[in-house]
Structure 1
Amino acid sequence: MTLLRFKTVIAAATALTAVLPLNPALAIEGGASHYLPGAYNDFGMNLQVPPGFYFRDDLTYYWAQFPDGTTLGRFGAVHLDQDLWLNNFKLAWASDFEVLGARYGAALILPVVFDFNLSGSIQFGPHQVSGRNNNGGIGDIAVAPLSLTWKWGDVHVNLSQFVFLPTGDYAAEKVVNLGLNRWSFETLAGLTWLDADRGHEISFNIGFISNTRNAATDYQSGDELHIDYTVAQYLSEAFGVGVTGYYYTQLSDDKSPLLDRLDQARRFLNLPGVDGYRGEAAGIGPAILYSPEIGGKRVSFIGKWIHEYDVNNRFKGELGMLSVALDF
């Protein structure tokens, strides 16, 4: 299938989901956000650590489809789904000096997309038009120039500021892009309570993301809020199990000339308006930690699986993540 024909399939599928009353189109431009479920919820995710450099590698597989597709009665249907293999390399630095009683640190995250595959189809009676496209390479780099961590007994509190840079490959005419062609600014606040004697842990993060306008498409994605949590039990110094999850919601409407045109089309058909395309989703699943000593240093291996539910205006799917973390 030619690229032009496939772009027609995806564009038509997205437009149909916008116009039809059953399911609106994807919120946040193209359903793509700098927020990645699973990347913010972990064992000891807000602990104040000793000064030094820390490395972490997260391998993520995410399979999802537009919830339930969109049907046109017995005459047609629209379907979209995606497969993503992503690896995040994270380098963090914890300093030995304090700011306002907190330990200062910084971080850099380099995302490498091994494969991002998007497919779509439109079926009218016995006739079907379908297509598939994929891409891979460097995504949008994130930096955290400010990270402050306080510690009071068993309670650890972190406040961080992240900046997502539009470094990933992007072109408005492409079906699958590695970057979002916009800057995102995220303020993240988190708390971890860890009872070292009994091995109990409760951790959560709250993040607020503000997005700039995509100049190539004149699309302004709305502000985003996410809450990520982990409840864990350590069975030994080297082994722990837990439940992890998230809640995501969009706080403000998406805005663009395209949405205005779709809103007019829906109202012309006596259908509800576009209503801002606000996205919402939640997910939950198990997590496991194994931290043996290797060469005199403790190395952590983490596995997570998150099942998404209560999804509106976003892709819905399953996420698996395997991670390794160490200090040097």
Structure 2
Amino acid sequence: MKSKKLTPRTGFVCRLGAAAIATLLALPNDAARADEGGVSFWIPGFFGSLAAAPAQAPGWSVTSIYYHTSVSAGGDVARAREITIGRIPANLNVNVNANVKANVDLGLLVGTYTFATPVLGAQAQASLLGVYGSNSTSLAGSLVGTVTGPGGGVLPFSRFDSIDSSITAFGDLLPMFQLKWNAGVHNYMTYITGDIPVGAYQSDRLANLGLGHWAIDAGGGYTYFNPKTGHEFSGVLGFTYNFVNPSTQYQSGVDMHFDWGASQFLTKQWQVGLVGYAYQQLGCDSGSGDRVGCFRSRVLGAGPQVGYIFPVGDMQGYLNLKAYGEFANENRPAGWNVWLTFNLSPPAATPPTRSRHIITK
């Protein structure tokens, strides 16, 4: 059996965007990201290199992702978590000297279908992402302030406490639709995704694996990829609209996120480079359950990546490892995270061979 020809695009482009959706994955509610209690719908770093490049063959592909993050935060984020789970009553006026830590391990499975018929001149892809994993979160510290009694009297208040919470369960479901255009070395894409809140979530539990509310996210991206030189750069910009959490009556503000990747293909199989992201909450949090104020969050991240393309029978495999260190965070935990992605997809079609015609007089 002849082996199929491998190209730098074929394994990587195979729906890495849908495979690493942020958010798209409703990251475990208290694990680490923005907005309500410091948690956001979008997982920064979801998109990476070649995010906008079309797949080279229609049909089904499957992507599996192992994701690990370890983060911590103090101050306002810890206070927000205490308020969210109901540990700070409304009649308390306290300063929080506390720290929240989380370790999360997730397994993501993404099924993607690439349509053979173009839509608006673009390659169309539909995906569904499911998640299963564990979340271990702890909160410890002291509360010092005053408490207002029934008669209006004000008394001093202090408490030291700690809680540990862990869960292993299924998370939310995330559908996604993408359109991708190719024009030589230039590639463009647009996407829309959202959160279906069916995962394990309780508003009074510190660790969760669901977001607790609906969300919608949309954006677009660009990839420069030159197969002759192996140079590649990608960037994807998106925005998240969060609906009200019915359990807490808390609505997170609009979020903006930008994921980027730059890489060099050393051979047709090996790829090395850098990845990064910028996350900024644009709109203030609101709703009758918002007791922390605007609480806009921000975080930046950057790190290395390596990728390898290889044949798997009649299919093509792609393995990618990338890691991020976070910094410049505000109203949001920060730490580090690792993504290990394996994609299995149809290989590029072999171009037809032209037969030679001998013309005789």
Name the TM-score class by shorter chain. 0.7 to 0.9
Percent of aligned pairs with the same residue?
25
Pick from 51, 65, 70: which aligns with 1:63? 70
Pairing 1:1-328 to 2, within 5 Å after superposition: 27-41=34-48, 43-49=49-55, 50-66=57-73, 77-113=97-133, 115-123=134-142, 128-144=160-176, 146-260=177-291, 262=292, 274=293, 276-328=294-346
Contact 1:285 1:307 in 2 (8 A): yes
- TM-score, normalised to structure 1's length? 0.81
Q: What displacement does 1:123 show?
A: 4.2
Give distance in 2, aligned partners of 1:297 and 1:140: 29
Q: What displacement does 1:235 show?
A: 0.1
SS in 1 for 2:284: coil
Give distance in 2, aligned partners of 1:32 and 1:128: 24
Specify whether residues 93 and 254 from structure 1 end up closer, same or farther in structure 2 by C-alpha distance, changes over 3 A only: same
Counterpart for residue 271 of structure 1? none
- AA paired with 2:236? N
Give distance in 1, aligned partners of 2:74 and 2:96: 16
Specify whether residues 164 and 259 from structure 1 end up closer, same or farther in structure 2 by C-alpha distance, changes over 3 A only: closer
Q: What displacement does 1:294 show?
A: 2.6
SS in 1 for 2:211: coil
Contact 1:38 1:304 in 2 (8 A): no
Q: Which runs of 5+ in 1 are unaligned?
A: 1-13, 15-25, 263-273
Give distance in 2, aligned partners of 1:123 and 1:177: 23
Counterpart for residue 350 of structure 2? none
Specify whether residues 123 and 215 from structure 1 end up closer, same or farther in structure 2 by C-alpha distance, changes over 3 A only: closer
Q: Could you give the per-residue CA deviations for residues 161-204 of structure 1, whole angstroms, max 9, x where no partner exists?
A: 11210111222222222211111111121111100000000001
- AA paired with 2:233? I
Give distance in 1, aligned partners of 2:339 and 2:332: 20
Q: Could you give the per-residue CA deviations for residues 19-75 of structure 1, whole angstroms, max 9, x where no partner exists?
A: xxxxxxx8511212121122222x32221112111111110110000158899xxx9
- TM-score, normalised to structure 2's length? 0.74
The structure having more radius of gyration, on CA atoms, is 2
Give distance in 1, aligned partners of 2:108 and 2:163: 28
Q: What displacement does 1:251 show?
A: 1.1
- AA paired with 2:221? G
Contact 1:59 1:87 in 2 (8 A): yes
Q: Which runs of 5+ in 2 are unaligned?
A: 1-29, 79-94, 145-158, 347-361
Specify whether residues 124 and 180 from structure 1 end up closer, same or farther in structure 2 by C-alpha distance, changes over 3 A only: closer
Q: What displacement does 1:77 show?
A: 3.2
Count of residues in correspondence between the two structures: 284
- AA paired with 2:227? A
Counterpart for residue 3 of structure 1? none
Give me the CA root mean square deviation.
2.2
